[in-house]
Structure 1
Amino acid sequence: MKGAVLFVVGIAVGFVAAHQVAKTPEGERFFSDIDSKAREFTGAVVDGYREREAELRAAVGDAEDALSDFAQRSK
Protein backbone atom coordinates (compact mmCIF):
# COMPACT_ATOMS: atom_id res chain seq x y z
CA MET A 1 0.00 0.00 0.00
CA LYS A 2 2.84 2.36 0.84
CA GLY A 3 4.34 1.76 -2.60
CA ALA A 4 1.08 2.68 -4.31
CA VAL A 5 0.84 5.92 -2.33
CA LEU A 6 4.41 6.83 -3.22
CA PHE A 7 3.68 6.04 -6.85
CA VAL A 8 0.66 8.36 -6.90
CA VAL A 9 2.62 11.10 -5.10
CA GLY A 10 5.41 10.73 -7.66
CA ILE A 11 2.96 11.11 -10.51
CA ALA A 12 1.47 14.22 -8.91
CA VAL A 13 4.90 15.79 -8.34
CA GLY A 14 5.90 14.98 -11.92
CA PHE A 15 2.71 16.53 -13.25
CA VAL A 16 3.24 19.73 -11.26
CA ALA A 17 6.89 19.94 -12.35
CA ALA A 18 5.97 19.41 -16.01
CA HIS A 19 3.28 22.07 -15.75
CA GLN A 20 5.77 24.56 -14.32
CA VAL A 21 8.36 23.75 -17.00
CA ALA A 22 5.74 24.12 -19.75
CA LYS A 23 5.17 27.73 -18.68
CA THR A 24 8.70 28.72 -19.79
CA PRO A 25 9.56 29.37 -23.47
CA GLU A 26 12.11 26.54 -23.42
CA GLY A 27 9.60 24.18 -21.84
CA GLU A 28 6.96 25.15 -24.37
CA ARG A 29 9.37 24.37 -27.22
CA PHE A 30 10.37 21.10 -25.54
CA PHE A 31 6.79 19.89 -25.17
CA SER A 32 5.90 21.12 -28.66
CA ASP A 33 8.79 19.08 -30.05
CA ILE A 34 7.69 16.00 -28.12
CA ASP A 35 4.12 16.49 -29.34
CA SER A 36 5.19 16.73 -32.99
CA LYS A 37 7.37 13.62 -32.69
CA ALA A 38 4.55 11.69 -31.03
CA ARG A 39 2.14 12.71 -33.79
CA GLU A 40 4.69 11.71 -36.44
CA PHE A 41 5.17 8.32 -34.77
CA THR A 42 1.42 7.81 -34.48
CA GLY A 43 0.98 8.63 -38.15
CA ALA A 44 3.67 6.12 -39.12
CA VAL A 45 2.03 3.40 -37.03
CA VAL A 46 -1.40 4.12 -38.55
CA ASP A 47 0.05 4.11 -42.08
CA GLY A 48 1.80 0.79 -41.43
CA TYR A 49 -1.35 -0.70 -39.95
CA ARG A 50 -3.48 0.34 -42.92
CA GLU A 51 -0.89 -0.93 -45.40
CA ARG A 52 -0.68 -4.30 -43.68
CA GLU A 53 -4.47 -4.51 -43.42
CA ALA A 54 -4.76 -3.92 -47.18
CA GLU A 55 -2.18 -6.65 -47.83
CA LEU A 56 -4.06 -9.12 -45.64
CA ARG A 57 -7.43 -8.25 -47.20
CA ALA A 58 -5.93 -8.82 -50.67
CA ALA A 59 -4.49 -12.16 -49.55
CA VAL A 60 -7.86 -13.24 -48.13
CA GLY A 61 -9.57 -12.20 -51.36
CA ASP A 62 -7.06 -14.23 -53.38
CA ALA A 63 -7.60 -17.24 -51.11
CA GLU A 64 -11.38 -16.96 -51.44
CA ASP A 65 -11.06 -16.81 -55.23
CA ALA A 66 -8.79 -19.87 -55.23
CA LEU A 67 -11.21 -21.81 -53.03
CA SER A 68 -14.13 -20.82 -55.24
CA ASP A 69 -12.27 -21.97 -58.36
CA PHE A 70 -11.31 -25.23 -56.66
CA ALA A 71 -14.91 -25.85 -55.58
CA GLN A 72 -16.20 -25.29 -59.12
CA ARG A 73 -13.58 -27.63 -60.60
CA SER A 74 -14.48 -30.32 -58.10
CA LYS A 75 -18.12 -30.43 -59.24
Structure 2
Amino acid sequence: MVTVKKFSSQQIILSCSQLTEHLIKNHIGDSVAIHTKLPSGITKVDFIDVSLINQTLSVVDSYTSEVITLSKYFQEAA
Protein backbone atom coordinates (compact mmCIF):
# COMPACT_ATOMS: atom_id res chain seq x y z
CA MET A 1 0.00 0.00 0.00
CA VAL A 2 1.20 3.49 -0.85
CA THR A 3 -0.31 6.94 -0.48
CA VAL A 4 -0.08 9.55 -3.23
CA LYS A 5 -0.21 13.09 -1.86
CA LYS A 6 -0.40 16.47 -3.53
CA PHE A 7 -0.99 19.39 -1.17
CA SER A 8 -4.13 18.55 0.83
CA SER A 9 -5.35 15.72 -1.41
CA GLN A 10 -4.31 12.14 -0.85
CA GLN A 11 -5.18 8.77 -2.35
CA ILE A 12 -4.43 5.33 -0.93
CA ILE A 13 -3.25 2.92 -3.64
CA LEU A 14 -3.22 -0.85 -3.29
CA SER A 15 -1.53 -2.08 -6.49
CA CYS A 16 0.95 -1.07 -9.16
CA SER A 17 -1.75 -1.01 -11.86
CA GLN A 18 -3.95 1.20 -9.68
CA LEU A 19 -1.00 3.55 -9.09
CA THR A 20 -0.30 3.78 -12.83
CA GLU A 21 -3.95 4.48 -13.61
CA HIS A 22 -4.23 7.09 -10.83
CA LEU A 23 -1.11 8.96 -11.97
CA ILE A 24 -2.25 9.00 -15.62
CA LYS A 25 -5.79 10.17 -14.81
CA ASN A 26 -4.93 12.72 -12.13
CA HIS A 27 -1.31 13.82 -12.11
CA ILE A 28 0.16 14.23 -15.62
CA GLY A 29 2.38 17.31 -15.45
CA ASP A 30 2.40 17.32 -11.65
CA SER A 31 4.90 16.72 -8.90
CA VAL A 32 3.54 14.47 -6.16
CA ALA A 33 4.78 12.66 -3.07
CA ILE A 34 4.62 8.88 -2.74
CA HIS A 35 4.50 7.68 0.89
CA THR A 36 5.40 4.08 1.75
CA LYS A 37 5.75 2.48 5.16
CA LEU A 38 8.94 0.49 5.71
CA PRO A 39 8.92 -2.75 7.77
CA SER A 40 10.46 -0.73 10.63
CA GLY A 41 7.36 1.48 10.68
CA ILE A 42 9.14 4.53 9.27
CA THR A 43 7.30 6.35 6.48
CA LYS A 44 9.51 6.87 3.42
CA VAL A 45 8.63 9.72 1.06
CA ASP A 46 9.68 10.02 -2.59
CA PHE A 47 8.99 13.19 -4.54
CA ILE A 48 8.26 12.43 -8.18
CA ASP A 49 7.46 14.26 -11.40
CA VAL A 50 4.80 12.65 -13.60
CA SER A 51 4.60 13.18 -17.36
CA LEU A 52 3.39 11.48 -20.51
CA ILE A 53 6.01 11.05 -23.24
CA ASN A 54 4.92 9.51 -26.55
CA GLN A 55 1.78 8.12 -24.85
CA THR A 56 3.96 6.42 -22.20
CA LEU A 57 3.91 7.29 -18.50
CA SER A 58 7.20 8.79 -17.33
CA VAL A 59 7.96 9.02 -13.62
CA VAL A 60 11.22 10.55 -12.40
CA ASP A 61 12.64 11.56 -9.03
CA SER A 62 12.02 15.30 -8.59
CA TYR A 63 15.51 15.92 -7.21
CA THR A 64 17.79 13.50 -9.06
CA SER A 65 15.83 13.04 -12.33
CA GLU A 66 16.36 9.28 -12.02
CA VAL A 67 13.66 7.17 -13.66
CA ILE A 68 11.34 5.56 -11.10
CA THR A 69 9.86 2.10 -11.68
CA LEU A 70 6.47 2.09 -9.97
CA SER A 71 6.59 -1.61 -9.10
CA LYS A 72 9.36 -0.84 -6.58
CA TYR A 73 6.81 0.66 -4.21
CA PHE A 74 4.97 -2.62 -3.91
CA GLN A 75 8.15 -4.68 -3.51
CA GLU A 76 9.24 -2.39 -0.64
CA ALA A 77 5.83 -2.45 1.03
CA ALA A 78 5.59 -6.26 0.97
TM-score, length basis structure 2: 0.24
Greater RCO, 1 or 2 (C-alpha within 8 Å, sep 6+): 2
Larger Rg: 1
Structure-1-length-normalised TM-score: 0.24
Bigger strand fraction: 2
